[in-house]
């Protein structure tokens, strides 16, 4: 299931003129209507192209139907940490939350990012390369050196 939180984030970040070009639309998108926004919130597993096609706002085409919001935003130059969400099941004291919370990586506290890497490396797990990039970018933007960076780079290059 895709996080519903990504919808507001996508609407806030997307450049609709670039999206119109990407999908080669004859009629450029100028706004995402309230109807489309409401429909999307009610059907959060759908991608933006699916929403707009299902509501007959744009013509049916495979590229728009299959296009992922993450890929659209990446192509528009939006940094990974502003695109990717992390699902949090535990608080920083390792107590299980009553329900999962989705946070943009840029909004995760630095100590939580470090805890993620502690968990991953202690258990020999792998992280998606895009998540690693987003976490590294977030720490770098905060000017926070961390002992985990070398481990991350080694893990990333292995």
Which structure tokens are listed for 72?
């659209």
pLDDT at 119: 78
Which structure tokens are listed for 118?
């502690």
- Which pLDDT tens digits describe the chain residue by residue (158 residues)? 899 999 999 999 999 999 999 999 998 898 888 999 999 999 999 999 999 999 999 999 999 999 999 999 999 999 999 999 999 888 777 789 999 999 999 999 998 888 888 777 777 777 888 998 899 889 989 988 766 666 666 666 66
- pTM value is 0.85
CA atoms within 13 A on the CB side of 103: 17
Per domain, the residue ranges of the chain are 5-75, 87-157
User: SS3 of 123, please?
Assistant: coil
- Taking the C-alpha atoms of residue 8 and residue 94, their distance in angstroms, rounded to an integer, is 29
- Taking the C-alpha atoms of residue 103 and residue 87, their distance in angstroms, rounded to an integer, is 6
**Sign of CA pseudo-dihedral 50, 52, 55, 61:** negative
User: Which of 157, 156, 152 is closest to 118 using CA atoms?
Assistant: 152
């Amino acid at each position: 299931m895709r996080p519903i939180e990504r919808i507001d984030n996508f609407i806030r970040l997307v450049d609709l003129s670039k999206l119109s070009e990407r999908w080669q639309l004859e009629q450029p998108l100028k706004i995402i209507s309230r109807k489309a926004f409401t429909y999307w919130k009610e059907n959060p597993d759908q991608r933006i192209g699916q929403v707009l096609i299902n509501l007959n706002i744009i013509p049916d085409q495979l590229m728009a139907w299959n296009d992922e919001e993450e890929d659209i935003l990446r192509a528009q130059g939006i940094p990974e940490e502003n695109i990717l969400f992390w699902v949090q099941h535990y608080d920083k004291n390792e107590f299980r939350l009553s329900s999962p919370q989705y946070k943009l990586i840029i909004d995760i506290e630095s100590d939580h990012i470090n805890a993620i890497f502690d968990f991953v490396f202690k258990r020999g797990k792998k992280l998606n390369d895009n998540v690693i990039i987003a976490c590294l970018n977030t720490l770098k933007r905060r000017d926070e050196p961390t002992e985990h960076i070398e481990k991350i780079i080694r893990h990333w290059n292995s």
